[in-house]
Chains A and B, each alone.
Chain A
Amino acid sequence: MTLDKVKKGQSFKVVYIPDEMTRSQAIRFGIAEGEILMCEEIIPAGPIVVRKERQEIALGRNLCKSIDITTELN
């Protein structure tokens, strides 16, 4: 599934980020493919806020549609 389908409070694993620039920037923030993150907040029709430890990132909804995730954590 893609990141825009996540529910608030749900933990998930990042599977694939297609855009290279986004991928590199996300690694700097601690959000690499394979990492387990938590969905902190969903702004209605707007950005999704994810958290890894103490690091919070807001991602635009369109970007979320392109990011593959899974909720099976193992």
Chain B
Amino acid sequence: MASHNHNLTLDINIPAGAKKVVLAGNPNSGKSVFFNYFTGMYVDVSNYPGTTLEISHGKFGNDVLMDTPGVYGISSFNDEEKIARDIILSADLVINIVNAVHLERDLFLTQQIIDTGIPVVIALNMLDEAEKRGLGVNAELLEKELGVPVVPTVAVKKKGLEEIKDKLSEARKGKRISVLKNIITKYMDRVGTEGEALLILEGDPVIAARHGVEPDNLREDIYLARRRRVNQVVQIVMEEKQVKKTLSAQLGRLMIRPVTGIPLLLLALWAMYQVIGVFIAETVVDLMEEVVFEEIYSPAVTNFLSRFIPEGTVFSEILAGEFGLLTMTVTYVFGILLPLVIGFYFFLSLFEDSGYLPRIATLVDRALSGIGLNGRAVIPFILGLGCVTMGTIVTRLLGSEREKRITIFLLGLTIPCSAQLGVIVGMLAGLGYQFALAYLMVILAVFIAVGSFLHALLPGDSTDLLIDLPALRIPRVDNVFKKTMIKSYQFIKEAIPLFAVGALLISTLSLSGLLERVQIWLTPLTVGWLNLPAGAATAFIMGIVRRDFAAAGLASMSLAPVQVLVSLITITLFVPCIASVLIIFKERSKKEALLMWAGTWVVAFLVGGIMAQLITLFSFVGESGSIMAAAISFSVTIVVLSTLCKLKYRGSQKVGAIPLGR
């Protein structure tokens, strides 16, 4: 067995005699509840080789229990599936969690796992929810049809969990779909396990390559046969007692219809803003940053260090100076970033657990298709409003390189993170609504125009929306908290080294005097082109490290209202913070990341400068009139230009798809 574990599965210690038990199930099947119950506190989270996905495993009696990402099937369609596939294929036995509410969908994976020939025990979960929806599922019949033990469970109420443990010894190979019976042996002499043989038959390129064989082309035949079998099983085991038009089904409809969906989305975003943008960004962060870290933590560190390293030396500056590794980095990560990230992941988990997220994606799909994206891209954008770095990482879920490219550039360019947003809102607040309106209009126009240009000019096509809309449900508090904590922890773990590198870099620049020189070079740009005072250059330099630093730097200067608007537009579009940039370099090629970084400089100064010049040009109509005139003329022009560009380069394809006259 061990000799054939040359797949890239996690390098974990499995004691002699212990079994490797794997939990598998569809997204939102309630897997995490099982995992937590079975493993208790002793859980290890490790990075899956070659990816940034984290896989948990822990002790389960004398055995080892491993979690897998939620998937609809195992193949090579995306990273999560590949990982789930490898872990399942290396299992001694699988506990498959099946959501009774989504039997047709979930049993596809179940049957596929059974077809791999690995012993299975099924947890038929959420039976209470199925009951509420008027569905009866007969566990005994299901056991008979599939040929493996089936345990009815309601995991959140801890029902049936002990029974699962008792049934593990009875785990066995189930009934394979009939078409496979004769062909499963086809590759058995070349690969070690039936599971791998199955995946080669299903044309999995990765598994085939591992064994040096050509992938077969039977995927579709096998999938169709499996689907037919699953439908047959569902017919036998499920009884629809009454068709209920539930409240959740109606709410689900309202969420995707634009007339009601847009107000609901705005309401959700408003609630998010109140919690994250107001409560966390102001109250919590102020307390953490200004009191805990700046008054207590930093002086303590500086004090402690001064006992060993004389103050004012290069070394002490690097560790505890203005951009110190032990002072600034720690303050950022734990004082500012952590509270915000927790807030964002809390809402994301809430949206995810309730089933709202795929509905938001459906609602905004049309709008995002105009910039070459599908509805899924709304997720990184929402997250980006919390932290651009976080949004950038999440672009991994997008379907093509092209979409990742467009999304990451727009995130870096136009999406202000919550820390920056806080300062921006504060600065605009005193100036009257025209200024806020002009700011919003210009940023939105740049978002649309740059997205449209990229969509028009980047070769290839984006993927279409194809998304499962699970039944809406009330999110479970423990689940949401658990998810929030795990994701926040993972994020912070990735962010710390990047912030440290950024701090080190800027310390070096500052100590060597380079920082000041760059400030002087930038003066013609800031004074001549943007009509700002010379001192604004300092803010931009700070903005390379963190954009809210720049915004804060601007807030401390005495600027005329028009200058506030121009500088805020420029700083919003300006390069993303150093942590985001480093993440972009990690996610994309060096050349592309460099191009994006340079691109944000160009766009920021171009847009800011044009706005400054336009406002001067329109100054004869008075201050607020001139900013509105400048904002409207600029926004309309770039949106029209980009639309024309899109028609020119993308139009030819559309004519084929939509014949004229319709």
Contact yes or no, A53 B466, CB < 8 A: no
* Complex Cα–Cα for A62 and B230 (A): 29
Contact yes or no, B227 A32, CB < 8 A: yes
Would you give the shortest CB distance from A59 to chain B, in whole angstroms?
A: 6
Q: Report how many A-B pairs have Cβ atoms within 8 Å.
A: 118
Contact yes or no, B105 A28, CB < 8 A: yes
* Complex Cα–Cα for A58 and B355 (A): 13
Q: Chain B residue with minimal CB distance to A25?
A: B466
* Complex Cα–Cα for A57 and B471 (A): 11
- For A25, the chain B residues whose CB sits under 8 A away are 72, 77, 466
Would you give the shortest CB distance from A66 to chain B, in whole angstroms?
A: 9
Contact yes or no, A23 B220, CB < 8 A: yes
The residue among A26, A40, A44, A60 with the most chain B CB atoms within 10 A of its own CB is: A60
Contact yes or no, B227 A30, CB < 8 A: yes
Contact yes or no, A62 B464, CB < 8 A: yes
Please encode chain B, from 449 to 466, with 1 for each CB lying within 8 Å of some chain A CB and 0 for all others.
Answer: 000000000000000111
Given contacts A32-B224, A47-B362, contact A60 B102 (CB under 8 A): no
B493: Cβ under 8 A from any A Cβ: no
Would you give the shortest CB distance from B137 to chain A, in whole angstroms?
A: 12
Contact yes or no, A47 B365, CB < 8 A: yes
Given contacts A29-B72, A41-B253, A55-B104, contact A60 B224 (CB under 8 A): no
Q: Chain A residue with minimal CB distance to B374?
A: A60
Contact yes or no, B104 A53, CB < 8 A: yes
Given contacts A28-B72, A30-B231, A41-B253, contact A57 B469 (CB under 8 A): yes
A27: Cβ under 8 A from any B Cβ: yes
Q: B366 is contacted by which of A24, A43, A52, A56 (Cβ under 8 Å)?
A: A43
B320: Cβ under 8 A from any A Cβ: no
Would you give the shortest CB distance from B135 to chain A, in whole angstroms?
A: 8
- For A53, the chain B residues whose CB sits under 8 A away are 104, 234
A38: Cβ under 8 A from any B Cβ: no
Contact yes or no, B257 A41, CB < 8 A: yes
* Complex Cα–Cα for A52 and B256 (A): 18
Q: Chain B residue with minimal CB distance to A19?
A: B464
* Complex Cα–Cα for A40 and B220 (A): 27
Please encode chain B, from 86 to 117, with 1 for each CB lying within 8 Å of some chain A CB and 0 for all others.
Answer: 00000000000000011111001100000000
Contact yes or no, A59 B366, CB < 8 A: no
* Complex Cα–Cα for A40 and B253 (A): 9
Contact yes or no, B464 A43, CB < 8 A: no
Q: Which chain A residues (31-59) contact chain B, with CB distance < 8 Å?
A: 32, 40-41, 43-47, 49, 52-59
Q: A58 is contacted by which of B75, B226, B257, B467 (Cβ under 8 Å)?
A: B467
Would you give the shortest CB distance from A45 to chain B, in whole angstroms?
A: 5
B592: Cβ under 8 A from any A Cβ: no
Contact yes or no, B366 A63, CB < 8 A: no
Q: Which chain B residues (407-434) contact chain A, with CB distance < 8 Å?
A: none
Please encode chain B, from 619 to 662, with 1 for each CB lying within 8 Å of some chain A CB and 0 for all others.
Answer: 00000000000000000000000000000000000000110000
Would you give the shortest CB distance from B449 to chain A, in whole angstroms?
A: 21
B73: Cβ under 8 A from any A Cβ: yes
B375: Cβ under 8 A from any A Cβ: yes
Contact yes or no, A24 B258, CB < 8 A: no
State the interface size on chain A (CB cutoff 8 A).
Answer: 33
A65: Cβ under 8 A from any B Cβ: yes
- For B465, the chain A residues whose CB sits under 8 A away are 47, 58-60, 63
Contact yes or no, B464 A27, CB < 8 A: no
Given contacts A24-B219, A30-B105, A43-B257, contact A55 B468 (CB under 8 A): yes
Contact yes or no, A43 B72, CB < 8 A: no
Q: Chain B residue with minimal CB distance to A27?
A: B223
- For A30, the chain B residues whose CB sits under 8 A away are 104-105, 108, 227, 230-231
Contact yes or no, A58 B358, CB < 8 A: yes
- For B508, the chain A residues whose CB sits under 8 A away are none
- For A44, the chain B residues whose CB sits under 8 A away are 258, 366
Would you give the shortest CB distance from A44 to chain B, in whole angstroms?
A: 6
Contact yes or no, A54 B464, CB < 8 A: no
The residue among A25, A54, A55 with the most chain B CB atoms within 10 A of its own CB is: A54
The residue among A23, A62, A63 with the most chain B CB atoms within 10 A of its own CB is: A62
Q: Chain A residue with minimal CB distance to B103?
A: A54
Would you give the shortest CB distance from A35 to chain B, in whole angstroms?
A: 9
* Complex Cα–Cα for A20 and B104 (A): 21
* Complex Cα–Cα for A52 and B108 (A): 14
10 shortest A-B CB distances, which residue pairs? A46-B366, A60-B465, A63-B464, A60-B464, A56-B469, A58-B362, A27-B223, A28-B72, A30-B104, A28-B73
Q: B residues bordering A, Cβ < 8 Å? A: 72-73, 75, 77, 101-105, 108-109, 133, 135, 219-220, 223-224, 226-227, 230-231, 234, 253, 256-258, 358, 361-363, 365-366, 369, 374-375, 464-469, 471, 657-658
Q: A residues bordering B, Cβ < 8 Å? A: 20-30, 32, 40-41, 43-47, 49, 52-63, 65
- 8 inter-chain pairs at a CB distance below 8 angstroms, sorted by A residue, are A21-B77, A32-B224, A49-B256, A53-B104, A58-B465, A60-B466, A61-B369, A65-B658
Besides A30-B230, A60-B465, 6 other CB < 8 A contacts?
A27-B226, A28-B73, A30-B108, A49-B469, A56-B468, A63-B465
